[in-house]
Amino acid sequence: MSRKFKGLAALCLTGVLLAATACGGGSSGGADDGSDDGTVELRFGWWGNNDRAAATQKVIDAFQKANPGIKVKGSYTDFNSYFDRLATEVAGGRAPDVITLGGAYPREYGDRGALLDLAKVGLKTDKIGAAALDNGKFGGVQYGVPTGVNAVAVVVNEAVFDKVGVPLPDENTWTWDDFKKTAKDLAAKLPKGTFALPDPTKTDMLDAFSRQRGEALYTADGKVGISAGTLAEWWNMTLELQQAGATPPASQTAELITQPAPEQSLMGRGEAAMQFDWSNQLGALSKAAGQPLKLMRLPGEIPTPGMWLQASQIYSINARTEHPQEAATFVDFLVNSPEAGKIILADRGIPANSDVRAAIQDALGEPEKAQAAFIDELTPKAGPPLVIGPTGSTDTPKILDRVNAEVLFGRQQPAEAATDFIEQVGTAIKQ
């Protein structure tokens, strides 16, 4: 989470957040009192690309047709900009009525009083699995509901493997040593400008890597759980890949961080054989690449699995909305309506509602069916639920990007970077 948020949060996101006079008066900024004809207007905030925007607008249109007394105005931006903008909006009392979140953000905003307790609006969740539902529940309060179920995975372009004659590894047995060998074999045969994979350093991958070693990025009591030794092992591996030409040079990796859309990625441009990503990105990546792609389990899952099932995204309601019941009606439509499910399909993960999942099965395209099959196969093999980061942990991705750059540009050695990362994250989650 941005430093801007933390400064503003001290003024706005405390216990006075819900007071009518706090940071901008009693209006939510997310909805007005409704038009002269009694229509209620809601704002809905989310992140994504143009394809997701088109599908989301179709869902909004369908909802408005079924609920003519409610008008929904969608507002979106790319992933990198979304949370900085949301932090400013929440702090200024101008947040959308329905807010899309993920990762540790439901806890971050829920703990600060910015999200509505969904028990107050009677939102139905009986068809949503507990594992996904708990991603939006903290301190016994349900602050959000999952859009769908997701998992980290290796996205593979089999055509690239076949073209250079490198065999696909066995996803049920491959180790991280097998992964490194495969990446180096690809690097030795791929044309210039094409890589085995982008640099894989992300918080999700650190979590999976550490879970395979009996750790986790965070502990259940809200502390840093990953050890310096595990971090050093990770960075020694990624440096080895970079030096072998399996991943891009540091300058290109730094550029790619600013280009999060699937069509901007190496995989989407047809310039990578593998990419660590979330399973729900398969369709967008396949479309961008212009050919079918495959999902595989992470290396190193035997004997201790590090993968987990997670809510793809979370829909929450602004605690200051002037129209909580109407906002809940919209969220109910998003997650519990087969009509919405048939439009969204698996773009926000495999539907968490079992009835919606069944209703859309025949409408799924090949990438979506592959996602569903991947989740079904993973479910009995996955590790325990993820420990969601404590308040302040939304700073971690930016800390990781900064420290990772130090490693890739050769300004820090892995052991030094490991200590630095742990200290910085520890400071962030204590604030």
Checking if the pLDDT of 68 tops 90, the result is yes
pTM of the complete model:
0.80
Q: Which helix (H) or strand (E) holds 43?
A: strand 40-47
Which residues neighbour 116 within 8 Å (Cβ) at sequence distance 6 or greater? 143, 316, 317, 318, 319, 321, 324, 327
> Residue 8's pLDDT is what?
36
Mean pLDDT in residue range 30-46: 75
Domains in the chain, ordered, with CATH?
3-148+312-376 (3.40.190.10), 152-307+392-430 (3.40.190.10)
> Residue 35's pLDDT is what?
54
Q: Which helix (H) or strand (E) holds 420?
A: helix 414-430
83 falls in which pLDDT band (50, 70, 90)? very high
Mean pLDDT in residue range 218-243: 97
> Residue 37's pLDDT is what?
73
> Residue 15's pLDDT is what?
34
Token pair 């990796």 is found at 253
Torsions phi, psi for 297 (to 5 deg): -70, 155
Mean pLDDT in residue range 289-318: 95
> Residue 261's pLDDT is what?
86
Q: For residues 118 and 136, give the distance between their C-alpha atoms in angstroms, rounded to a whole number.
A: 10
CB atoms within 10 A of CB 260: 15
Decide which of 29 and 88 is more confident.
88
Nearest to 205 by CA among 235, 185, 184, 240: 235
* DSSP classification of residue 136: G
Q: For residues 386 and 290, give the distance between their C-alpha atoms in angstroms, rounded to a whole number.
A: 33
> Residue 29's pLDDT is what?
42
C-alpha torsion sign, points 168, 199, 267, 280: positive
pLDDT in tens, 325-372: 999 999 999 999 999 999 999 899 899 899 999 999 899 989 999 999
C-alpha torsion sign, points 256, 257, 259, 263: positive
pLDDT in tens, 176-198: 999 999 999 999 999 999 999 99
36 falls in which pLDDT band (50, 70, 90)? low
Question: Whole-number mean pLDDT of the chain?
Answer: 89
